[in-house]
């Protein structure tokens, strides 16, 4: 029983969205042109369930490069209309087009001089008549069996809001790097914004030894710094090689003499490195593809600056 209800709801709403697509015409281009050229913000408003849709649409616009805020129509009448300027564009959601709280705002909006776009299921309503542009969001019926609870109508509004946001995104040539700027805490933001220098271990936290030091001293340094490798440098700080536990295991057959060998005798020469201004995501790819756990960070002259450890990658959530 419930399965059939769910399927009917989804089919009802999908058919409604398909019909919306058939209504989109040249006016939509004019709306996108207006929204893209406004010097103010896109202010989105709506009451009740359409108000929740308005909040979501405003958030989507803001995160895709179009400054936007949600204006509660009831609060607007008590001072929040002061947020509206003549350079703004208001998008008002109302299925009936006669929502009292929204209708009360219309004379003030006109007096301020802001442009008004109506997204409504009644293109002959008071809201529609007062608007500069209208998008018809009408549906044949709600998914609610009583035809009372906003269901299909709010889905239609949401779809139109997404269509506006995506069209604006394309119009403004909004790129992934721009998206990352507004989502620095998300996975994409971290991949596109974090640099190696932001996550690397500074030189004072890296086990560093000279090539003529004994292996036992290198191991002490590794233990002291709680790392899995030591970086071998010359007197000028230039990286010469890496000494890892893997190097130690590969030469373990040398027995008791191993600890007194100079570290350059078994180090890995010319290890993979990365520059400090490279994206941290590039360090992730090197660590993964080369199947290593530590990646030295060097400047353009090969001088050791720090180290990226696989644990650092995990700590910042890059993988």
Positions at the binding site for Zn(2+): 72
Rg (CA), the chain: 31
| Residue 160 near residue 134, CB atoms below 8 Å | no
Q: Which two tokens stand for residue 16?
A: 């409604």
Binding site, residues? 72
Q: Which two tokens stand for residue 58?
A: 């405003």
Strand 304-309 and strand 201-202: the pairing is antiparallel
First to last CA, the chain: 42
Q: Which two tokens stand for residue 127?
A: 């809201």
The CA–CA distances, whole Å, from 44 to 66, 116, 117, 119, 220 equal 12, 10, 9, 10, 63
What DSSP designation does 269 have? E
Closest CA to 115 of 178, 31, 223, 51: 31
What HEC string does 186-233 produce? Answer: CHHHHHHHCEHHHHCEEHHHCCEEECCCEHHHHHHHHHHHCCCEEEEE
């Amino acid at each position: 029983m419930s399965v059939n209800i769910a399927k009917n709801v989804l089919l009802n709403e999908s058919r409604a969205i398909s019909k919306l697509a058939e209504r989109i015409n040249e006016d939509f281009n004019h709306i996108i042109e207006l929204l893209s050229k406004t010097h103010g913000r896109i202010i989105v408003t709506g009451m009740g369930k359409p108000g929740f849709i308005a909040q979501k649409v405003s958030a989507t616009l803001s995160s895709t490069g179009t400054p936007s805020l949600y204006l509660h129509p009831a609060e607007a009448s008590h001072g929040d209309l002061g947020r509206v300027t003549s350079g703004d564009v208001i998008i008002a959601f109302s299925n009936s087009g006669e929502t009292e709280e929204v209708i009360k705002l219309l004379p003030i909006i006109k007096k301020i001089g802001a442009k008004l776009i109506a997204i409504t299921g009644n293109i002959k309503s008071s809201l529609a008549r007062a608007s500069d542009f209208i998008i018809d969001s009408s549906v044949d019926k709600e998914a609610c069996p009583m035809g009372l609870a906003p269901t299909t109508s709010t889905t239609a509004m949401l779809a139109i809001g997404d269509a506006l946001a995506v069209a604006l995104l394309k119009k403004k040539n909004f790129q992934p790097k721009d998206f990352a700027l507004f989502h620095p805490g998300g996975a994409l933001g971290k991949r596109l914004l974090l640099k190696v220098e932001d996550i690397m271990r500074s030189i004072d936290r890296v086990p560093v030894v000279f090539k003529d030091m004994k292996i036992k001293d290198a191991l002490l340094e590794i233990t002291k710094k709680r790392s899995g490798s030591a970086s071998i440098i010359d007197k000028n700080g230039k990286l010469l090689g890496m000494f890892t536990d893997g190097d130690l295991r590969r030469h373990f057959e040398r027995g008791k003499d191993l600890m007194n060998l100079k570290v350059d005798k078994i180090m890995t020469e010319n290890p993979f490195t990365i520059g400090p201004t490279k994206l941290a995501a590039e360090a992730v790819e090197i660590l993964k593809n080369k199947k290593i756990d530590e990646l030295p960070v060097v400047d353009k002259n090969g001088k050791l600056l720090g180290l990226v450890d696989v644990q650092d990658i995990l700590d910042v959530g890059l993988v």
